[in-house]
Amino acid sequence: ARAWPRPRAGRREGLDRAARLRRVLVHVDRQAHVLRGLAVDCVIGFIEWERRIRQTVVIDLELPVDCRAAAVRDRVEDTLDYKKVAKRVIAFVEASEFQLVETLAERIARLILDEFALEWVRVSVNKPGAIRGSRDVGIAIERTRDDDR
């Protein structure tokens, strides 16, 4: 069987060589702190019994960071203090009472963008045991400062 050459990235989209290179460089240069498995108890759900109890949600965050200066100087002042972000998110979620994980994820994203002046954030909120036979159910979103409020 003859192996056909694979199409090069960006050719189908009609991008010129410079545009393809910019797209690759933007992707390669992206760095992020990742917080996984932040478990927080809150009131979440739209069923009547869910409104009377606290349930655990599991949150994952991806936060942009340019870690080059911090890596050179080895100082927390030169990077995003993700412990502060985690503490703020925990306090917010514990005090919240949303019906939907979608709403909770949106509010977490907006809080992080506004209070920590980041350009973008990825947030996933999962509700363990929400569907029988499934480990969890949830939502994953990415938001930027430029998104409509």
Q: Find, among 132, 110, 136, 134, the residue nearest to 121 by Cα.
A: 110
Q: Find, among 107, 90, 82, 85, the residue nearest to 41 by Cα.
A: 90
The burial of 85, by beta-carbon neighbours within 10 Å (0-12 exposed, 13-18 middle, 19 or more buried), is given as buried
Query: Which residues face 41 on adjacent strands?
Result: 56
- Cα separation of 35 and 63, whole Å? 8
Q: Of the listed 83, 84, 87, 127, which one is catalytic?
A: 127
Q: Supply the pLDDT for residue 27.
A: 46
Q: Supply the pLDDT for residue 47.
A: 92
Q: Supply the pLDDT for residue 88.
A: 98
* pTM of the full structure: 0.77
Instruction: Please report the DSSP string for 13-82 in residue order.
Output: TT--HHHHHHHHHHHHH--EEEEEEEEEEEEE-SSGGGGGS-EEEEEEEEEE---HHHHHH--GGGS--H
Q: Supply the pLDDT for residue 76.
A: 82
Q: Are 121 and 113 in contact (CB under 8 A)?
A: yes
Q: Is 87 a catalytic residue?
A: no
Q: Supply the pLDDT for residue 17.
A: 65
Q: For the chain (length 149 residues), average pLDDT per consecutive 10?
A: 49 57 52 92 95 96 88 86 95 97 98 94 94 91 86
